[in-house]
Chain A
Amino acid sequence: MAKYTISVNGQQHTVEADPDTPLLWVVRDYIGLTGTKYGCGMSQCGACTVHLNDQPIRSCVTPISSIRKTAKITTIEGLSANTDHAVQQAWISEQVPQCGYCQSGIVMSAAALLRQKPAPTDADIDLALSGHLCRCGTYPRIRKAVHKAAKMMNDK
């Protein structure tokens, strides 16, 4: 066990954990942010996606010991203050989620995509989001919602 100080959603947290503890379980069980989900534990489904310095990563395969003290971690809870990120608004507008379990991770990846590519093509969306699994089958709505979010951001 060792002590780690990490910054999550702008707040410093010090946790005592095994070096190999995945960031996923640190944010969920130690810090209490349960919006980030477990789905496979091997980077296959994307339910655990968070941002590390604005880049999407799979927290289920990211050991706590690999996170620098200066790194900025953002989880779904920290994406916006009032559920008003364009991606969240577009997701609500298109009624994307069904069970909703995988959506935190997909929303995080979509937000990262739009930060890099404000007007993504379908191919960009494929590339950015095909690492995610949604068993309810919301993919057609996800694609529409990403385009809508891009438009909302560009219209601002």
Chain B
Amino acid sequence: MSTYIATRREFLKIMSHAGAVLAIGIGPAGSLLAGPRKLSLADGDAAETELNTFILITPDNKITIFNPRPEMGQGTWQSMPALIAEELGVTFDQIDIRITSGDRRYGTQSVGGSGSVRFSWLPLRKVGAAAREMLIKAAAKRWNAAEADCYTEKAKVMHRPSGKSFSFGELVADAAALEVPKEPKLKDPKDFTIIGKAIPRPDVPSKVNGKAVFGLDVKVPGMLYATIQRCPVIHGKVVRFNEAEVAAMPGVKAVFKTERKMPHKAVDAVAVVATTYWAALKARQVLQIEWDNAGYENISTEQYFAECRAKAAQDGNSYPDVVGDVKSGFARAAKVLDAQYETPFTAHAPIEPMCATVAVSGNKAEVWAPVQGTTDTIHEVSEYLGIPRENVTMHNVFMGGSFGRKGYLDFVLEAAAVSKNVQAPVKLIWTREDDLGNGPYRPGMLNVVKGGLDAAGNLIAWEHKIIGASIKHQVFKEDTSKVADDWASETIDQATSPYVIPNRRQAFNLNDTPIPIVWWRSVYSSTNAFAQESFVDEMAHAAGKDPMDFRLEMLKNEPRWTTLLQFLAEKSDYRAQRRAGKAVGIAIAHSFGSTAAYAVTVSKKDMGVVIEKIVGVIDCGQYVNPDTVKAQTEGNAVMALSAALKPAITFAGGEAQESNFHQFNLLRLDETPPIEIHIIENRENPGGVGEPGFPPLTPALCNAIFLATGKRVRKLPFDLGNPG
């Protein structure tokens, strides 16, 4: 089995050498594969009606399945082929997996919003089922048998009464001539042998022996290496630089002014191109640039948060799901509490920094890059270079982590600009300092919350206002100054937070920033849930009620939430631990189609706490691979701990103050507590998995800390040794 990445040229080669192939697709793919919340930067995927080719079967029974969803660690290299293989009737050791190269016939080829399984669940199963029906039809005809007596298994069509069989390869020429069934019959989930099973991920061996090809590992003939110096003061302009001196450095091929094209803004930069990456980096060390920083030298996160706090008393723009009337609710309340929760700017910091290899030649471009969107990259590169879309060839490669970052394609366009300038293939690699110093970042947010209890301790009024920068506003230039940003309300709006409170209002208040921002794992849910679930806890304590019971009372009409919390209580031994005086904090949140909850147990130590154990439960409906669900949730817990306990990104004087991992340190192995993840088993529609495990972790931890120490954490990051 290979985890080889096919190029478009190689794909065509396979096609031409294959003889008869079965090319099964779905249509219209664009509509079937698209998700409700598009996280790509451009709509490059208009509805397509052509058939897509996801399965190739050759006469000698070689089977290739094309994976349309780029792999960044979330497991699409297994989950996408699994959807097809399950219905087709092949096992993982019988298939080669290749990534699609952006051909429009495959529909959307991007990942984001924890959407891969959710949005491919039916379309890709139909692809496999259609192929199965065609192969069965071809076999039944040869045997002169009833199709109902035939089934597929391990790349063969079997005839049940006689025990005869044909390999798929023997049937492919006949099957390919048949009409593709539009509504093939899908398997009953009880008959699944691949979906729902912990099948090892086929990309894993290549990731422990050095063979996996990431963006950093691309090598093409005649390739040069580039590094780019961007202004330390974000958005500064180049006045002049010592071009001659840098050009004379060993190995240097070119030094020139270039740009960093972000979706909302292009900013100046200087590129150094050399024969090796080290030569480029050394030449960059002698590069001296005079910058014009006028207008940018006062940008600071301190000022940004001061502006947010200044807006705390404002109403902001209401989300449409207002319930009752909060003003009269608060007026009737026996007890009213309010609080402000602050979450910082932070960086994605995938361990593979941004990198891309681009070869621009005349009006053509070839791109090798680790990106979340294959089709988006083709679209953006063609727009940026002003060349036809068909002239851009794209090879997606494994991402060495992304967390949203590699869906922002500034680094690919930078490489394109540099390659165009030198008219040679160029590999651009950002340094870690480039990464942490330039963003884009998760926006810093201020959450202002207010709650009112009646005399019986029932929550009768609730207001949650989020104040801060809007990704839609900056990245997509949508005006969110007068209306609530509808991307920002997940985990706190009625649709995703079903607590029954008779008077309830959520609002968004824009505080714009010149600091580049973008989605970061779980986006606003990562900050919203911290405020909501911490403050629900504050209200529970103010009401003198157990935080679990307080939540259950407000979730009586939500069987899935109730089941989840009760399951969490059982798995974490919540009741017994609490009775024994243990500090166990809980929190629950719904994002990206799934609900997750944690119980975090801490013990008091000196001024702070130590985390003893984390127990998590996720309800993601039907899933493809339970081990991937657990891995993603473990990873979310670790990333959330990192964001809560480790340094953030701060700006002063227009510059990011954290330059590398010695300052922007991440959670390490010795700081990771035991983590135990459980999955709720049901037959509900698939939910997301890559992000929902993030939002509830931090509030669960902080709720435990309150119980252990009486200190309420309202600002991230904080010190476990001395919280609050």
- A interface with B by C-beta (< 8 Å): 1, 17-18, 20-22, 25, 28-30, 32-42, 44-45, 47, 75-77, 79-80, 83, 87-88, 91-92, 95-104, 107, 125-127, 129-143
Contacts and interface: CB of A to CB of B under 8 A. Distances in A.
B349 A135 contact: yes
B233 interface: no
Given A75-B210, A138-B635, A133 B351 contact: yes
B627 interface: yes
A100 B74 contact: no
A65 to B, nearest CB: 13
B208 A97 contact: yes
Given A140-B675, A141-B634, A135 B278 contact: no
Interface of B: 71-75, 200-201, 203-214, 216-217, 219, 225, 250, 276-279, 282, 348-353, 398-403, 429, 431-432, 627, 631-632, 634-639, 642, 660-662, 665-672, 674-675
Nearest to B676: A140
Given A29-B277, A37-B351, A44 B662 contact: yes
Contacts of B204: 91-92, 95-97, 100
Given A100-B400, A101-B351, A139 B638 contact: yes
Contacts of A133: 351, 661, 666, 668
B669 A35 contact: no
B208 A88 contact: yes
Contacts of B213: 34
Contacts of B642: 137
A78 to B, nearest CB: 9
Given A100-B203, A136-B73, A37 B352 contact: yes
B25 to A, nearest CB: 29
20 contacts: A1-B250, A20-B282, A32-B219, A36-B210, A39-B351, A44-B660, A44-B665, A76-B210, A87-B208, A92-B208, A98-B635, A99-B350, A99-B398, A100-B206, A101-B401, A135-B401, A137-B637, A137-B667, A138-B635, A140-B634
B631 A98 contact: yes
Nearest to B349: A135
Contacts of A79: 209
A99 B400 contact: yes
Contact of A130 (B201, B353, B669): B669
Given A98-B75, A137-B637, 10 more contacts: A20-B282, A29-B276, A42-B432, A99-B401, A101-B351, A130-B671, A134-B351, A135-B350, A137-B639, A139-B668
Contact of B214 (A20, A42, A101): A101
Given A99-B73, A142-B669, A25 B277 contact: yes
Given A40-B660, A79-B209, A100 B631 contact: no
Given A92-B208, A100-B204, A135-B639, A143 B350 contact: no
A25 B642 CA distance: 29
B638 A137 contact: yes
Contacts of B669: 125-126, 129-130, 132, 134, 139, 142-143
B352 A95 contact: no
A71 B201 CA distance: 36
B668 A130 contact: yes
Instruction: State the 7 A-B residue pairs at the shortest beta-carbon distance, nearest first.
Output: A35-B210, A137-B638, A101-B400, A100-B207, A99-B73, A98-B73, A137-B635
Contact of A104 (B210, B282, B627): B210
In the complex, which of the residues A42, A83, A137, A142 has the most CB atoms of chain B within 10 Å of its own CB atom? A137
Given A75-B210, A103-B207, A133-B661, A25 B351 contact: no
Contact of B432 (A17, A40, A91, A137): A40
Contacts of A22: 278
B528 to A, nearest CB: 21
Nearest to A126: B670
Given A38-B353, A44-B661, A130 B670 contact: yes
A125 B669 CA distance: 9
B668 A140 contact: no
Contacts of B278: 17-18, 21-22, 25, 29
A38 B427 CA distance: 14
Contact of B205 (A83, A98, A130, A136): A83
Contacts of B211: 35, 77
A29 B352 CA distance: 16
B209 A25 contact: no
Contacts of A129: 669
Contacts of B665: 44
Contacts of B207: 97, 99-100, 103
B464 to A, nearest CB: 28
Nearest to A40: B432
Given A34-B217, A79-B209, A45 B637 contact: no
A75 B277 CA distance: 20
A99 B639 CA distance: 14
A143 B667 CA distance: 15
A134 to B, nearest CB: 7
A99 B343 CA distance: 27
Contacts of B282: 18, 20
A137 B646 CA distance: 14
A36 B668 CA distance: 20
B351 A137 contact: no
A95 B200 contact: yes
A134 B403 CA distance: 13
Contacts of A80: 209
A77 B210 contact: yes
B400 A33 contact: no
A54 B668 CA distance: 24
Contacts of A25: 276-278
Contacts of A18: 250, 278-279, 282
A74 to B, nearest CB: 11
A111 to B, nearest CB: 11
B438 to A, nearest CB: 16
A103 B206 CA distance: 10
A140 B350 CA distance: 19
B404 to A, nearest CB: 12
Contacts of A21: 276, 278
A35 B351 contact: no
Contacts of A77: 209-211
B350 A141 contact: no
Contacts of A97: 73, 203-204, 207-208
A41 B432 contact: yes
A125 to B, nearest CB: 7
A135 B208 contact: no
A83 B668 contact: no
A42 B210 contact: no
Residue among A92, A100, A107, A140 with the highest chain B CB neighbour number at 10 A: A100
B209 A38 contact: no
Contact of A45 (B210, B351, B670): B351
Contacts of A35: 209-211
Contact of B400 (A32, A37, A42, A132): A37
A26 B350 CA distance: 23
Contacts of B637: 137
Nearest to A36: B210
B314 to A, nearest CB: 37
B202 to A, nearest CB: 11
A22 B351 CA distance: 18
Contact of A42 (B277, B632, B662): B662
Contact of B636 (A29, A32, A130, A137): A137
Contacts of A1: 250
B74 A98 contact: yes
